Amino acid sequence: MSADDRLKELGLTLPEVPTPVATYVSFKQVGDMIYLSGQGPKRADGTYPTGKVGADVTIEQAYEHAKQTGLGLLAAMKKAAGSLDKVEIVKLLGMVNAAPDFSDHPKVINGCSDLFVAVLGDRGRHARSAVGMGSLPNRMTVEIEVIVKVHP
């Protein structure tokens, strides 16, 4: 089953790839590797869910924000590689806008990791870091960047 078929089966659609807001690109391909710029859980109206996870935002809400971020990253991968069936996730860095005493960062970033495995199967499994930050751009709850290998 193709990745696009899995997305349909899951009832998910990919958003438009966001236009960079500063001096950078959405992705950079070097050889068979694609480096994706960090993205957050951008809503259709262009806003982001905001707040500190563990204070203003629950783990469950932030998990969904990470999943939404993952959809945006999949859209960028598809644009870069031409097809999601060509990509393999190598490394993911998940950043959580966390309250000072919050310690469940991996549970939040699982929203993105679980999505990648559901859509890409074994090629969605990856090395990962999940860390807490004192703040993130636009006060968004999560930001995630990914490194992808492209297969012929």
Beta bridge partners of 131: 95
Question: Does the residue 73 lie in any domain?
Answer: yes
**Is residue 34 domain-resident?**
yes
Any domain includes 19: no
- State both tokens at 20: 């960079």
Which helix (H) or strand (E) is 125 found in, with range? Answer: none
Determine the structural domain holding residue 81 and report its residue range. 3-12+25-150
Residue 53: how many other CB atoms lie within 10 Å: 25
Which pLDDT score is estimated for 18?
Answer: 80
Q: Minimal CA–CA distance to 13: which of 83, 70, 59, 54?
A: 70
Asked, for residue 112, whether it belongs to a domain, the answer is yes
Structure tokens, 78: 């598809």
Please report the pLDDT score of residue 27 as a whole number. 97
Q: What pLDDT, on a 0 to 100 scale, did the predictor assign at position 44?
A: 87
Structure tokens at 75: 């859209």
pLDDT the model gives residue 88: 98
CATH number, domain with residue 105: 3.30.1330.40
**Residue matched to tokens 């709850």:** 141
CA 8 to chain centre: 18
Give the largest CA-CA distance in the chain. Answer: 45
Domain count, the chain: 1
Residue 7 confidence (pLDDT)? 97
CB 39 within 8 A of CB 76: yes
- Looking at the domain assignment, is residue 135 inside a domain? yes
Residue-by-residue pLDDT tens, the chain, 152 positions: 999 999 999 999 999 998 888 999 999 999 999 999 999 999 989 899 999 999 999 999 999 999 999 999 999 999 999 999 999 999 999 999 999 999 999 999 999 999 999 999 999 999 999 999 999 999 999 999 999 999 99
Residue 51: predicted pLDDT: 97
